[in-house]
Amino acid sequence: MLQVNFLRKNKERVLEGLKKRNFKELDLVDAAINADDERKRLQFELDSQLSEMNRISKEIGILMKDGKKEEAEAAKSQTSQYKESSKELQNELNEAEKTLLNILYQIPNIPYEKVVAGVSADDNEVVYESTTVEGLGEGAIPHWELAKKYNLIDFELGVKVAGAGFPVYFGKGARLQRALVQYFLDKNTDAGYQEVNVPHVVNEASGYGTGQLPDKEGQMYYVGADDLYLIPTAEVPVTNIYRDVIIDEKDLPIKNTAFSQCYRREAGSYGAHVRGLNRLHQFEKVEIVRIEKPENSYAVLEEMVEHVKSILEDLELPYRILRLCGGDTGFASAMTYDFEVWSAAQEKWLEVSSVSNFETFQATRLKCRYKGDGKTQLVHTLNGSAMALPRIMAALLENNQTPDGIKLPKKIAEYARFELIN
C-alpha cells in the first residue's frame, strides 16, 4: 500500500507510474488526498474539543473550591455537551479513516524505473534466453498424453474426487513430485534460506497484508464458516510472520523458504492453454521470501534471479527470463522477473516462476519495520517461486521423452532414485 504522504509529495511521479501500468482510475490519487484532508480536519476538531474539555474540567475543580457552585454546574453542563459532540466526531473520524484506507487499498504499487510501459504480456521484455529452442517434431507427445501412457497422472480421477484442476499423481509421477520438492528445498537451504512450515489457510488480515485482498479476492478459496482463505502461495503466510513486527537491524536480512500446496480458483480460465498441468486449482510450490533493508533490495532481486537460474540449469530445461511491463506487473509489485520454460511438445513457453520486489508496498500494510541507528523505518519485501511444480513437470516430461521412455536430468534422477520413466 502506498502511503498518503507519499502520494502528496510525489503526485506527478505516482500518476506517471500508474499510467505506465495502464491503470485507469487515476482519480483515486486525488480521492485519497481529499479523504486524508477530511480525516485531518476531523482529527483537529476532535483534538480541539478534547483539549477544551480538559481545560473546563480543571476549571470546575477551582470553581468548586472557591464555592462558586452555580458556575461549576454550568461548566459541567458545557462539558457534557462537548462529550456528546466528541463522540459524534470520533464516529465521523473512524468512518473517514475507513474511507481513506479503502481508497488506498485500490491503488497499485508504482513500477520501478526499469519497468517499461505496456498493456499486456506482449509488451514484456525478454532479458535472457538460455538456448535456441526447437520442437521435437511430429511424433512429440504432450505431457497429458505422456502422463496417461506411463500412468503418472490421472486428470479424470481428479475430476471425480474434487473437480477439474485437481489431478491425482501415481507411482513415479508422485515420486517425481516429491523429488522435485525436496530438491528445491535443499537448493534453497544450501543458499542460506531457512526452511519454515506454515499454515495453508490465512485470516483476512494476512490476505490484506501481502496484497491478495482486496485485489484478488475472487481468485481465492474462502472458508466461510471459519472466515479463512486457502493460500494461493506460501508467500502469504511466510511474509505475514513479520506483520506488526519491528525487526532489529542486526537480524537482517531474513531469508525464508517454504513448501506448500497452493489453491487458486482461476475463475474464467478455459481453452486449450489450461489442458493438463498448464493451469490447476491445486498445485505444489516452493517459495523463497526475503526481508531486506531498502538500499539492498534491488541487488537482492538480481541475486534471487541468479538463484532461480541455477535451478533451471540443474533441471536442464530451455528457459528465458522476462522483465514484466507495467501493465503485466502484479498489483503489489514494483518490478517482477518471470521465468518461462520451453514446452517442446506444445511448442510454447510456460511460466514457472516470478521473482518480485515489492519495496515498501507490503511492509506498509504489514507494519513491518526495522530499527537501526535509533530510527525505525519500513523494510522492503521480496519473494520468488523456486519453483512451481506443474509446468516444470510438464516440461520435464515433454522435453525428455525418448523412444525408450522419459529420461530424467541427472540432478533430479538422484533425488527421485530412478533415471527412466517407461
Answer for the pair 294, 80: CB distance below 8 angstroms, yes or no: no
Q: Going by C-beta distance under 8 Å and a sequence separation of 6 or more, which residues neighbour residue 272?
A: none
Cell digits of residue 158? 481428479
Sign of CA pseudo-dihedral 251, 255, 258, 262: positive
Q: Is 21 helix (H, G, I), strand (E, B) or coil?
A: coil
Answer for the pair 282, 219: CB distance below 8 angstroms, yes or no: no
Q: Which residues are annotated as a binding site for L-serine?
A: 233, 264, 287, 383
Question: How many other CB atoms are there within 10 angstroms of residue 231's CB atom?
Answer: 27
Cα distances (angstroms) measured from residue 14 to each of 29, 99, 112, 115, 378:
8, 20, 11, 14, 19
Q: Is 37 helix (H, G, I), strand (E, B) or coil?
A: helix
Answer for the pair 395, 343: CB distance below 8 angstroms, yes or no: yes
Smallest CA-to-CA distance from 178 within 258, 235, 237, 259 is with 259
Q: Which residues are annotated as a binding site?
A: 233, 264-266, 287, 351-354, 383
Answer for the pair 126, 320: CB distance below 8 angstroms, yes or no: yes
What are the DSSP calls for 195-262, one per residue?
Answer: E----SEE-HHHHHHHT-TTTTGGGS-EETTTTEEE-SSTHHHHHHTTTT-EEEGGG-SEEEEEEEEE
Answer for the pair 177, 389: CB distance below 8 angstroms, yes or no: yes
Q: Which residues are annotated as a binding site for ATP?
A: 264-266, 351-354
Cell 510501459 sits on residue = 117
Cα distances (angstroms) measured from residue 314 to each of 183, 238, 311, 359, 384:
10, 26, 5, 30, 18
3-state helix, strand, coil in the chain (%, to 5): 45, 20, 30
